[in-house]
């Protein structure tokens, strides 16, 4: 992102590793311009803790380093959830997971 207001004739550059598509209008509304972007698969994003159980590691994988294949980021609220937690709360089902994983590729 480049801030259009130069300070002392220098351009300020800010680096944000991941910005959800939903947030781009907010950055633009305050005058930040997008210099470059690329689409990143959900499975490539380092995960935060689950909003339901607060556990920060994956439940399905013995691997201890993110990204975890069973952690999903909601496109609406931009929060992270374990798939198992979503199933237990009846928010999602196995068919939806298959569709999400297929779309992620």
Q: Please check whether residues 50 and 99 belong to one and the same domain.
A: yes
Q: Domain containing 19: what range?
A: 1-39
Same domain, 89 and 48: yes
Together in a domain, 47 and 96: yes
Rounded distance between C-alpha atoms, residue 96 and residue 101, angstroms: 9
DSSP line for 35-83: -------GGGSPP---TTT---S-SS-S--SSPPTTEEE-TTT--EEEH
- Number of domains within the chain: 2
Q: How high is the pLDDT of residue 84?
A: 93
Are the C-beta atoms of residues 88 and 82 closer than 8 Å to each other?
no
What does the DSSP 8-state code read for residue 12?
Answer: E
What pTM does this model have? Answer: 0.55
- pLDDT, averaged per 10 consecutive residues of the chain (105 residues), comes to 47 60 81 76 69 89 81 82 92 86 76
């Amino acid at each position: 992102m480049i801030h259009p207001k130069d300070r002392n004739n220098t351009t300020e550059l800010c680096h944000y590793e991941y910005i959800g598509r939903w947030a781009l209008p907010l950055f633009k509304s305050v005058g930040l311009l997008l210099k470059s972007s690329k689409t990143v698969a959900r499975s490539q994003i380092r995960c935060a803790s689950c909003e339901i159980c607060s556990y920060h590691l994956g439940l399905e994988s013995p691997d201890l380093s993110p990204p975890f294949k069973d952690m999903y980021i909601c496109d609406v609220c931009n929060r992270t959830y374990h798939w198992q937690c979503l199933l237990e709360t009846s928010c999602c089902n196995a068919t939806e997971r298959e569709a999400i994983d297929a779309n992620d590729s």
